[in-house]
Amino acid sequence: MKKTVIIAEDHTILRDGLRALLNLSDAFEVIGEATNGIEAIRCASECLPDIAILDLSMPKMNGISAIREIKKQSPKTKILVLTIHQDEEYILTAFQTGADGYCLKDARFDEVLNAMKTILSGKPYMSGEVSAKVLTGYLEEKKTIKSTSTWETITPREKEILKLIAEGYKSADIADILFISVKTVNKHRSNLMEKLDLHNVSALTVYAIERGLVSNREV
């Protein structure tokens, strides 16, 4: 019996190509797709797939937040990150949040298949370049997440709101997307501005781009 897969990727051509290749394989069948983090959570909850393939940079809710929620709602679903991000911070944060595997988007399809089969067997998977990044950081005794940095004082919810602000959403829209009150959104917005010492939407947007929460094409 084929293992079931959902794909969360906002680039249509990549999502279509991956779906076509997986459906041609003897081992996997794509049963759901999503174009943003919120859709990914809903899709995983409804489909309960064996594997969810997620990008980290997606609209509305990023992949890290989506991983956390998917693991809550469908604990048996294995999660393979498929992304362009090679920074050690992204890699370790993804695994700490609940990812089972991490591949780069320039990987060959046979590597993606190997990654999927590996995580289904209960073993974690990192592509060669990713493993090298983690090993280098370990050998150099780098602290990948600096607890004293301003960025690390930003809560996961504040990061979600910062991303949505940078994407141009107003407080009322953000409240609807995250199922919270406008008052709560404005409180988080105020906290962000105070912590970052940034006092307008333009400055917050630039900061979000610098931190990789959004790309220039998304704003």
Q: Report residue 30's pLDDT band, with 50, 70 and 90 as the boundaries.
A: very high
Q: How much is the pLDDT for 142?
A: 46
Q: Give yes or no for a contact between 175 and 181, defined as CB atoms under 8 angstroms apart.
A: yes
Q: Give yes or no for a contact between 126 and 134, defined as CB atoms under 8 angstroms apart.
A: yes
Are both 183 and 81 inside the same structural domain?
Answer: no
Q: Is the pTM of this model over 0.85?
A: no
Q: How many domains does the chain have?
A: 2
Are both 15 and 65 inside the same structural domain?
Answer: yes
Tens of pLDDT along 101-142? 999 998 899 999 999 999 999 999 988 777 666 666 655 554
Domain boundary among 108, 139, 170: 139
Are both 28 and 95 inside the same structural domain?
Answer: yes
Indicate the range of 6-10, 56-60, 61-65, 87-91 predicted with least confidence: 87-91
Q: Is 144 inside a domain boundary?
A: no
Mean pLDDT within 49-56: 96
Q: How much is the pLDDT for 1?
A: 86
| Mean pLDDT, the chain, integer | 87
What's the CATH code of the domain at 205?
A: 1.10.10.10
* Tokens read off for 59: 């609209």
Q: What percent of the chain has a predicted confidence (pLDDT) above 90? A: 62
Are both 45 and 109 inside the same structural domain?
Answer: yes
Domain boundary among 72, 105, 139: 139
Q: Is 145 inside a domain boundary?
A: no
What's the CATH code of the domain at 105?
A: 3.40.50.2300
Residue 81 bridge partners (DSSP)? 54, 102
Are both 169 and 89 inside the same structural domain?
Answer: no
Closest CA to 52 of 25, 33, 36, 24: 33
Tens of pLDDT along 135-161? 666 555 544 444 446 787 899 899 999
Q: How far apart are the first and last CA of the chain?
A: 43
Q: Is 103 inside a domain boundary?
A: yes
Distance, CA of 185 to CA of 90 (rounded, Å): 26
Structural domain boundaries enclosing 49? 3-139
